[in-house]
Amino acid sequence: MSTFLGIEFGSTRIKAVLIDENFKPIASGSHDWENKLVDGMWTYDLDDVWTGLRDSFHKLNDEVKSRTGQPLTHVDAIGISAMMHGYLAFDEDGELLVPFRTWRNTTTGKAADELTALFGFNIPQRWSVAHLRQAVLNKEPHVKDIALITTLAGYVHWKLTDRKVLGVGDASGVFPIDSATNNYNTCMVRQFDELISGADDGLQIKWKLADILPSVLNAGEDAGKLTEAGALLLDPSGLLKAGVPFCPPEGDAGTGMVATNSVAARTGNVSAGTSIFAMIVLEKALSKVYPEIDMVTTPSGKPVAMVHCNNCTTDLDAWIKLFGEALALSGAKLEKAALYDALYYKALEGDADCGGLVSYNYYAGEPTVHIEEGRPLFVRLPDAHLTLANFIRNLLYSSMATLKLGMNILTEKEKARVDKLLGHGGLFKTKGVGQRFMAAALNTPVAVMESAGEGGAWGIALLAAYLVLKSGETLEAFLDKKVFIGNAGTSVAPDAKDAEGFAAFIKCYEKGLAVERSAVENIN
């Protein structure tokens, strides 16, 4: 039996999934982790990367041993995925120059605005090139020593294979991609180098951008093999053998597209976890540059419009944890999944407009609405209908409200057409709740597949399988004809009352953004 291993580093969980040649998960393992705010920067310690990787693989291996009686010593291909964007800078000796700066940081506004104007192409704050340019603007001493900048997926892949590469989808969140070549836009690379050449001579920058970026690979291309040292990083027991081929490392956006079969034109998906983003594969380029919309690519290089919001479930999770603590005081015991289910289903009983309750889930800054820092906020009128059902419904609406504001640009201004929209991620785990509210928010049918809970780890495992099992067909054909044949998911159409209620909620939400901005300015 052929097996394929996918490992994804999500915002709060590292997950490993093993699938068979029929693309069915046969074992999994996960490890919880969390970002930290250190000296004003959201970061993860790189030691935690390897602790989490080994723990996830160990738990997966334990499941394999319990089922087969034998440990895992070989797989047919491996893929690594992780949160896109951010800034990992290394010197020529492979030493990390500054702590990992994640996608969640909103400290690169000046650089992002400057590069957007220079390129005529939207460069969001979280993109790696924005972090690099901001480091130059800040005159940070480490800049002169950079030999490589990469993403989290690129870093892990490099250490396991000794190859400094990125899949085109992940690379498209580092620097703009030319869809004609599926490589970095050479004109923009030249513009960046000319810009940097005018930097303060005191920085002593000697590198050119092309020299410090990872190479770009398309889905299905050879991205190296597991080295002896890499095998021990993944499995310190030494049982997993070196030599396993790797597919190109991808970002969570790309693996989300694969996991929902949303890589063809006029398909789209919504990923809802710590962050939330919608990705629409376009038939044609946008008519203009929008600061709220990223242009990235599928793992095979097709242009994608991405509405990305930094905040989704973190505030919701915090409130549910609080309700769990309150229940525990009474002696009641509910498992975490049961608590979420109970509260989500309670939300279905709430008023369609949440009864006058409004939440802002901004744990971090939210560039989509020009909020620079996080200030979670709950507001209500004195005569609002404060019930548990309305409160939970309001939290769920809040988790998708900013996405709605961004999506309005695509659907109303650009008239982008979407034949299907698939949801995946933690928000959709409770059957029929997040899906129903998302359909109302975006006013379009939303489908969820049974595999939605597996998410990006399954998606990168599929890309690993594509590396080995493709027979000359495109990624789109491989997914359609081999992986998802007969599986379009369970679709929910917008409920008219829900859609009307969400429209009322979002109207109030937009007006209240002034209150959120005031909180950022005045509560420190």
- Count how many domains the chain has: 2
Count Cβ neighbours within 10 Å for each residue of 118-155 and write b for 16 or more, e otherwise: ebeebbbbbbbbbbbbbbbeeeeeebebbbbbbbbbbb
The tens-digit pLDDT sequence of the chain (524 residues) is 899 999 999 988 999 999 999 999 999 999 999 999 999 899 999 999 999 999 999 999 999 999 999 999 999 999 999 999 999 999 999 999 999 999 989 899 999 999 999 999 999 999 999 999 999 999 999 999 999 999 999 999 999 999 999 999 999 999 999 988 999 999 999 999 999 987 656 788 999 999 999 999 999 999 999 999 999 999 999 999 999 999 999 999 899 889 888 888 888 989 898 889 899 998 887 889 998 898 999 998 888 998 989 999 999 999 999 999 999 999 988 899 999 999 999 999 999 999 999 999 999 999 889 898 999 999 999 999 999 999 999 999 999 999 999 999 888 888 888 877 898 888 998 999 999 999 999 988 999 887 555 578 999 999 999 999 999 999 999 999 999 987 767 899 999 999 999 999 999 999 999 999 999 999 98
Q: Both 367 and 508 in a single domain?
A: yes
Q: Both 305 and 206 in a single domain?
A: no
DSSP string, 457-510: HHHHHHHHHHHHH--S--HHHHIIIIISTT---EEEPPPHHHHHHHHHHHHHHH
CA–CA distance from 330 to each of 59, 155, 414 (Å)?
Answer: 34, 47, 53
> What pLDDT does residue 77 have?
98
Strands 13-20 and 25-32: antiparallel
3-state secondary structure of 518: helix
CA–CA distance from 22 to each of 220, 445, 455, 482 (Å)?
Answer: 18, 28, 17, 8
Cβ atoms of 143 and 204 closer than 8 Å = no
Q: Both 196 and 339 in a single domain?
A: no
> What pLDDT does residue 262 have?
87
Closest CA to 272 of 401, 463, 420, 416: 401
> What pLDDT does residue 339 have?
96
> What pLDDT does residue 451 have?
59
Residue 160 lies in a domain: no
DSSP string, 152-206: HHHHHHHHHHS--EEEHHHHTTTS-EETTTTEE-HHHHHHHHHHHHTS-GGG---
Q: Both 140 and 285 in a single domain?
A: no
In three-state form (DSSP H/G/I as H, E/B as E, the rest C), the secondary structure along 72-98 is CCCCCEEEEEECCCCEEEECCCCCECC
* Token pair recorded at residue 418: 């979407």
* Token pair recorded at residue 334: 């509910």
**Token pair 């919504």: residue:** 270
Q: Both 204 and 284 in a single domain?
A: no
Q: Both 267 and 206 in a single domain?
A: no
Domain harbouring 305, CATH code: 3.30.420.40
Residue 366 lies in a domain: yes
Residue 368 lies in a domain: yes
User: 109-119 vs 128-137: helix axis angle to the nearest 10?
Assistant: 110
CA 120 to chain centre: 25
AA letter at 398? S
Residue 515 lies in a domain: yes
Closest CA to 154 of 178, 175, 180: 175
AA letter at 353? D
DSSP letter at 236 equals: T
What values do phi and psi take at 507, rounded to 5?
Answer: -65, -45
* Token pair recorded at residue 349: 């009983």
61/230 Cα distance (integer angstroms):
17
What values do phi and psi take at 412, rounded to 5?
Answer: -95, -40
3-state secondary structure of 421: strand
> Given strand 420-424, what is the order of strands in its sheet?
294-297, 303-309, 276-281, 267-272, 420-424, 446-448, 490-492
> What pLDDT does residue 489 have?
77
Q: Both 331 and 185 in a single domain?
A: no
The terminus-to-terminus CA distance of the chain in angstroms comes to: 57
CA–CA distance from 522 to each of 62, 256, 375, 515 (Å)?
Answer: 51, 38, 10, 10
User: 388-408 vs 314-329: helix axis angle to the nearest 10?
Assistant: 170
CB within 8 A of 150, min separation 6: which ones? Answer: 88, 90, 128, 158, 164, 166, 174, 214
DSSP letter at 371 equals: B
Residue 9 lies in a domain: no
> What pLDDT does residue 201 have?
63
Q: Which domain holds residue 357?
A: 261-448+494-524
Closest CA to 266 of 457, 411, 386: 411
In three-state form (DSSP H/G/I as H, E/B as E, the rest C), the secondary structure along 333-357 is CCCHHHHHHHHHHHHCCCCCCHHHE
Q: Both 407 and 498 in a single domain?
A: yes
CA–CA distance from 478 to each of 114, 242, 263, 475, 512 (Å)?
Answer: 40, 27, 11, 5, 46
Count Cβ neighbours within 10 Å for each residue of 344-353 and write b for 16 or more, e otherwise: bebbeebbbb
Residue 116 lies in a domain: yes
Q: Both 283 and 207 in a single domain?
A: no
Residue 123 lies in a domain: yes
Q: Both 191 and 266 in a single domain?
A: no
- CA atoms within 13 A of residue 404's CA, in its CB half-sphere: 23
Cβ atoms of 16 and 461 closer than 8 Å = no
Residue 164 lies in a domain: no
Q: Both 370 and 514 in a single domain?
A: yes
Q: Both 130 and 201 in a single domain?
A: yes
402/415 Cα distance (integer angstroms):
19
Q: Do you know the residue count of the chain?
A: 524
CA 118 to chain centre: 27
AA letter at 110? K
